[in-house]
Chain A
Amino acid sequence: DVKVTQSSRYLVKRTGEKVFLECVQDMDHENMFWYRQDPGLGLRLIYFSYDVKMKEKGDIPEGYSVSREKKERFSLILESASTNQTSMYLCASRGTFNGYTFGSGTRLTVV
């Protein structure tokens, strides 16, 4: 089975800090995704990548950037964390005809 691993389950960061959320998948999938999930707003797509060094904006990219230097790793970067970025962050990957596989999520709190 595909495994998607997010480096941290819980994180607490201070306002203004640079934050890195790491995601690694082990099935050689081309496509990787970052979502955030907030109560009442559901899952929203931040960024996605369909190949190494490629990235595409999702619905809410403001305040975020991403890095895909290796196929298996997709990093989400908060350049200067703010309290409105407190959320659950979910990473996913997929092959062409496969379903998406999600990680367990990182619950980020910005104080």
Chain B
Amino acid sequence: DAKTTQPNSMESNEEEPVHLPCNHSTISGTDYIHWYRQLPSQGPEYVIHGLTSNVNNRMASLAIAEDRKSSTLILHRATLRDAAVYYCILRDPLNRDDKIIFGKGTRLHILP
């Protein structure tokens, strides 16, 4: 399975943008890049996903490198409620046995 590499933790000030990096150098052509986050005492929640082009939704933006070997999740204006563990995951949705394998993720601390 293709693996991802993320920093263990990051810190950001409230109301500033946050850029969470992810490396996935062994990504295959059919893998989508997904991001999830897990708030304290909750199950993970879907944030965003993309294949090749940059993506935006109400929660975040996803910037994908041209060679697809890395990506960055962008929170445009961090709030205290964004403090969570963020997971970068590769998925092939056409694979019947597709299943998420979680790494350690990045623990994001937001400073008031």
Contact = CB atoms under 8 A, between A and B. Distances in A.
Nearest to A58: B99
Contact of B46 (A33, A43, A101): A101
Interface size class of B (residues with CB under 8 A): 20 to 34
A43 B44 contact: yes
B93 A96 contact: yes
Q: Which of A33, A56, A99, A100 has the most CB of B within 10 A?
A: A99
A35 B100 CA distance: 10
A104 B99 contact: no
Interface stretch (B19-27, B64-72, B74-82, B101-109): B101-109
A107 B1 CA distance: 29
Nearest to B41: A105
Contact of A48 (B34, B42, B46, B99): B99
A35 B96 CA distance: 18
Interface residues of A, number: 24
A92 interface: yes
A43 B44 CA distance: 10
B112 interface: no
Given A90-B43, A90-B44, A104-B42, A43 B102 contact: yes
B34 to A, nearest CB: 6
Interface in B82-102: 93-94, 96-102
| 6 cross-chain pairs, A with B, having the tightest CB-CB distances, nearest first | A99-B46, A102-B43, A43-B102, A90-B43, A97-B93, A102-B44
